[in-house]
Structure 1
Amino acid sequence: MTSASRTIGLAAFVAAAPGSAWAGVSLSGSYQAGELGRVELSTQGERLVGRASEAGVCGLAPRSPVLEGEFQGNVLVGKLTLCLQGPSCPATDTVALVAFYSPVDHTLTAFVQPRAGCQSLMLGKSGLFLLQPASEAPAAAAPVAPARSGGSSVASLRTEKRNPEAAKEALEKGNRLLGTKDLSGSVAEFERSIFLDDHNWVAFFGLGTAHLMGGQAQDAIAALMRARALNPREPSIPYHLACAYSQLGDKRRALESLRQAVKLGFAIPESSRQDTELDRLLGSDVEYVALTNQAVENYRSPAGRRPQTGP
């Protein structure tokens, strides 16, 4: 089934998007769906049907229905047929789908979660499903390796088509929603921003922070690791990693990340409260106390960075 947080978040994104009122979305003709191959779309009223026009990785028979749904504004609510890989996984499965239609580039995007223990070559590593006009699709798509089990693979998300302006808009909206603690909405916005431009560390940092605030430590770590790869000198990133590892009870990595944050100049005012989980895990550790004191000194120092207190 579709991840509840992503589904709700995408719906919130569309509801808040300017110009999202339904204006007669009508898709038809050949579209490319990554490893699935060509899909022929037809729209009747608000109902959309997509049929496979070539075997693709799933080996589906031509004209097999793979996508069905109805538009509600610029949102397609329906179902998607996935081909699956993995032990005890069926060859195909039908999952719920909530996809966003972009009138700018005429694409449909959604984040889909296959059943537990299964992977689908139809999806990007973060569960991204992209349907775009065949005339604009890349000539050849590189095979997508199955995601490792036991954690998020957003760290390997690759942008198919960049749109920096739209990415910035989604990022700003994600930050606003995060400020109001609308975690599902902010996650959808940050993922949308990353899809449109995966070179912005702030979007990955925001996504990691939203997951961290929601108690999704593994997903938070995956996003924050990508943020760190893009900006290895930002001290707030390893601090948030320390908080995420503390949620997992991983004392060694939490302390290691905090050590790196302080070394990079992580700073907090003396009266600031530390992350609850981090303090509970490391509060009695001598090095943790020393690192916290150093963070306070960093704040007092003229060269100290602005205070960071984590999510």
Structure 2
Amino acid sequence: MRSDGEHLTGTAPAGGPCQRPVAEQILNGDFQGNVFLGEITLCQTGDTCTPSRSFPVMLVYNVEERALGGVVKLEPGCESPALGKNGMLVLRAPEQGAVLTPVSAHAPEQRQAQAPAQVPPSGGAAQVAQQRRVEPVDVAATLKLGQAALLAQNPITASQHFQLVLSQEKEKNNAWALTGMGVAHFLRKQQPEALKYLEQARSVGSGAARAEAFFWTACVKRAAQESRLAQEALRRALAEGWSPPEGNVLVERELQQFSNDGTLYEAQLKQARGRKRVQGREPQGAGSASP
């Protein structure tokens, strides 16, 4: 691994758990305090699994053990020889002198650390990293960053911000962050993961947040060509008070997709577009700058 200020990259040598034919950069991201937000490229095994894919990750750095640890969510039904039980990823410094903390770009030399061929046993760095308290974040500001990333069609960056919100003990059921994660997965064409987050958002959210989760559920179901379920979810969104956020190109794109299906959603679209927001109310919705 190499760091430049708060930015961290990691290269896996040839061979290793994934049996790479050549060395390959697999880790890229930035530190926010003791939390690393980025993406990692891992191999997967399974009949219907992509052999190699990049995943967004949030890893916690433990100073005492010089280790980065966190959970990587693979595609459903897939496994990776690079991960431990329950998808735990741990990167430890193999030598006493190696460090993982960010160093100044002007340091005389950059320290390096390599990921171990096998994950340490439970009770070691993985457990410590999981239990380490995550530093508090500005939830509202982080949600805005995530939603802005969705608007910019950057779902990986968006999911990193939403994950940071959900990592806070008091925000683990934040409906806006859960919906944002669902939309991020939807934009990456990962429908099962999207539906999982949206279902959770619907179960814990209320008011506008619940309505937003229903709308995006309808979008996912439409994309899956499950028209009846899409109609029902869109009906529920409207019943909960959903209306299109002004100037939200992401939502407008989805509304156009509904329109392209002919008269199937005509009545519901007419109802949605006929609604007007209360004057002074800021736009809401995934991709909006205001949760």
TM-score, scaled to structure 1: 0.51
Q: 1:13 to 1:214 in 2, by over 3 A?
A: farther
**CA offset digits 1:207-247 (Å, max 9, x no partner):** 11212222222221111111111104331111111111111
Which residue matches 2:29? 12
2:237, 2:216 → 1: CA distance? 9
Answer yes or no: is 1:195 the counterpart of 2:161. no
Deviation, 1:74, is: 9.8
1:94-133 correspondence runs (5 A) = 100-102=59-61, 108-112=68-72, 117-118=77-78, 122-124=84-86, 127=87, 129=89
The residue type equivalent to 1:236 in the other structure is E
Answer yes or no: is 1:253 the counterpart of 2:212. no
The residue type equivalent to 1:214 in the other structure is R
1:187, 1:13 → 2: CA distance? 14
Which residue matches 2:263? 284
Answer yes or no: is 1:178 the counterpart of 2:195. no
Which residue matches 1:165? 136
**CA offset digits 1:47-90 (Å, max 9, x no partner):** xxxxxxxxxxxxxxxxxxxxxxxxxx99998999x9x9x99xxx
Deviation, 1:257, is: 0.5
- Runs of 5+ consecutive residues of structure 2 not aligned to the other structure: 1-16, 19-24, 48-52, 91-119
8 A Cα contact 2:214 2:236, kept in partner: yes
1:141-160 correspondence runs (5 A) = none
- Runs of 5+ consecutive residues of structure 1 not aligned to the other structure: 3-7, 21-72, 88-94, 139-158
1:260, 1:304 → 2: CA distance? 25
Deviation, 1:297, is: 3.5
Deviation, 1:204, is: 0.9
**CA offset digits 1:189-217 (Å, max 9, x no partner):** 32343234422122111111212222222
Which residue matches 1:265? 241
Q: 1:13 to 1:201 in 2, by over 3 A?
A: farther
8 A Cα contact 1:265 1:305, kept in partner: no
8 A Cα contact 2:218 2:229, kept in partner: yes
TM-score, scaled to structure 2: 0.54
Percent identity over paired residues = 22
Answer yes or no: is 1:213 the counterpart of 2:172. no
Question: Is 111-120 or 181-190 further displaced after alignment?
Answer: 111-120
Question: Is 290-299 or 128-137 further displaced after alignment?
Answer: 128-137
1:213, 1:184 → 2: CA distance? 10
Q: 1:167 to 1:161 in 2, by over 3 A?
A: farther
Which residue matches 2:114? none
Which residue matches 1:30? none
The residue type equivalent to 1:193 in the other structure is V
8 A Cα contact 1:266 1:307, kept in partner: no
2:199, 2:158 → 1: CA distance? 19
Q: 1:298 to 1:115 in 2, by over 3 A?
A: closer
1:240, 1:305 → 2: CA distance? 21
2:165, 2:237 → 1: CA distance? 26
Which residue matches 2:198? 224
Deviation, 1:306, is: 6.2
Q: 1:241 to 1:164 in 2, by over 3 A?
A: farther
Q: How many residues are treated as equivalent by the alignment? A: 220
